[in-house]
Amino acid sequence: MAISIRAWRPSEAGHLARMANNSNIAKMLTDSFPSPYSLSHAEAFIEKAGQDLPPRLFAIDLDGQAVGAIGLHPQGDIFRRNIELGYWLAEEFWGRGIASGAVALAVGHAFAQFDIDRVFARPFGNNIGSQKVLEKNGFALEARFEKTLLKNGELHDELVYAVRRAQWEAKTS
């Protein structure tokens, strides 16, 4: 099983739309993630993903096939030494270690390509799978905010996980 992260290909728009059009994925992401997820959403996302230098929006690739998405979102102003990590995986690939591998690759890329000290992620409190992915990659729980996220009419806890450059370098050296 070869896991990599790579640029999205315009020819993958239909495949991306089919994978992403899943309420079980959308319910764990911000409202900026379209649901339902259409072909036009996929085309716009792939076009946007190709514009960043250094690249920061990637396909999660398993043996040559896109199976999800992962992105690095640099912060501005006084938060500029931080990048937020976001990701999702097609439901049929959950529980196979793919997201953990992709997160490791994306975090390595973030520290290599950006002048940052910290990569953080903010999973929903009920997203146990995502919490485990982050913990496997050396992220520590920094905060829990109770009932701060409103998704589909329900309040959810927001967790903040992070890994620091020094921790990452010690882990990977």
Report the C-alpha gap between 33 and 73 in whole angstroms: 14
pLDDT of 173 reads 78
pLDDT of 98 reads 97
In degrees rounded to 5, what are phi and psi of residue 36? -70, 160
Give the count of domains, the chain: 1
| Share above pLDDT 70 across residues of the chain, in percent, rounded to a whole number | 100
Q: In what order do the strands lie in the sheet with 65-74?
A: 3-6, 57-62, 65-74, 82-89, 118-121, 154-164, 140-151
State yes or no: pLDDT of 35 exceeds 90.
Answer: yes
Write the CATH number for 36: 3.40.630.30
pLDDT of 62 reads 96
What's the mean pLDDT in 18-32?
Answer: 95
In degrees rounded to 5, what are phi and psi of residue 168? -65, -45
State yes or no: pLDDT of 123 exceeds 80.
Answer: yes
In degrees rounded to 5, what are phi and psi of residue 63? 50, 40
Strand pairing partners for 118? 82, 164
Domain that holds residue 95: 3-172
State yes or no: pLDDT of 1 exceeds 80.
Answer: no
| Contacts of 32 by beta carbon, 8 Å cutoff, 6+ apart | none
User: pLDDT for 152-164, tens place per residue?
Assistant: 999 999 999 999 9
